Amino acid sequence: MKNNELIYGSFFSYNSKPKSDSERIAKEKVREIKFDKMIEGKLWSQEISLLMKRDFEKLPFNNFFGKGTYLVPAPKSSLMVQDFLWVPSRIALAMSQKGFGIYFPCLERQKSVNKAAFSKYEDRPKITEHLDSLKINSMLITEKMERIVIIDDVTTTGATLLGCALKLKEKFLGVPIFGFAVIRTVDNFKNFEEPFIGKINEINNGRTHRES
């Protein structure tokens, strides 16, 4: 990443204010993914890793993954204890089991921040709030770290992914860092399954701009 700019990939898209039936169906799938519900006998986290494995060659961000990739789940916006549902962690673990990289849950939230999806624009956490609220736990690095991919379930503003990336950059100097959100919000919905690669930038007031 360069100058507070993060390259990120995303597999699904949805409109959080659905108007058409296809948008409503997409939103319902997003809700199921956010709770890691079962789909045809599998968890959604497992289904996502299988779909991405199936389409791997066509993914515009497939260079993020492979040998030497460390998959870091993004912490929730709130504090959590061990047996809480932590969907990004479950997705990262499922992806690791399918060979996308090494599961590396080193980031932790020390204090809660407002959840962007629930907040008005002015109340959404700024990058500095993310940085102040995160800490990196020491973990054993078992093979050469070629790159880090931060894994999140849904990206709205992109601030969580960018905040996590800047935090990791402090410790893992010189290691390329990317973001991956299974789902991204879009204004112009076309299809639920719509792989995408784009940038998240910090803009002048501590907010973010995310290409979608």
Site string for other proteins, 8-47 (x = CB under 8 A): --------x-x-----x--xx--x--xxxxx--x-x----
Residue 114 near residue 124, CB atoms below 8 Å: yes
Binding status of residue 139 toward other proteins by CB under 8 A? no
Binding status of residue 128 toward other proteins by CB under 8 A? no
**Which residues, other chains included, contact 152 with Cβ-Cβ below 8 Å and sequence gap of 6+?**
73, 74, 88, 160, 161, 179, 180, 181, 182
Backbone angles phi, psi at 33, to 5 degrees: -65, -40
Q: Please select the residue that binds other proteins; options are 4, 22, 62, 112, rule is CB under 8 A.
A: 112
Here the tokens at position 87 are 């969907």
What's the closest the beta carbon of residue 1 comes to other proteins, in angstroms?
Answer: 28
Positions 78 through 107 that interact with other proteins (CB under 8 A): 78-81, 83-85, 87
Residue 108 near residue 77, CB atoms below 8 Å: no
Binding positions for other proteins, rule: CB under 8 A: 16, 18, 24, 27-28, 31, 34-38, 41, 43, 76-81, 83-85, 87, 111-112, 115, 117-118
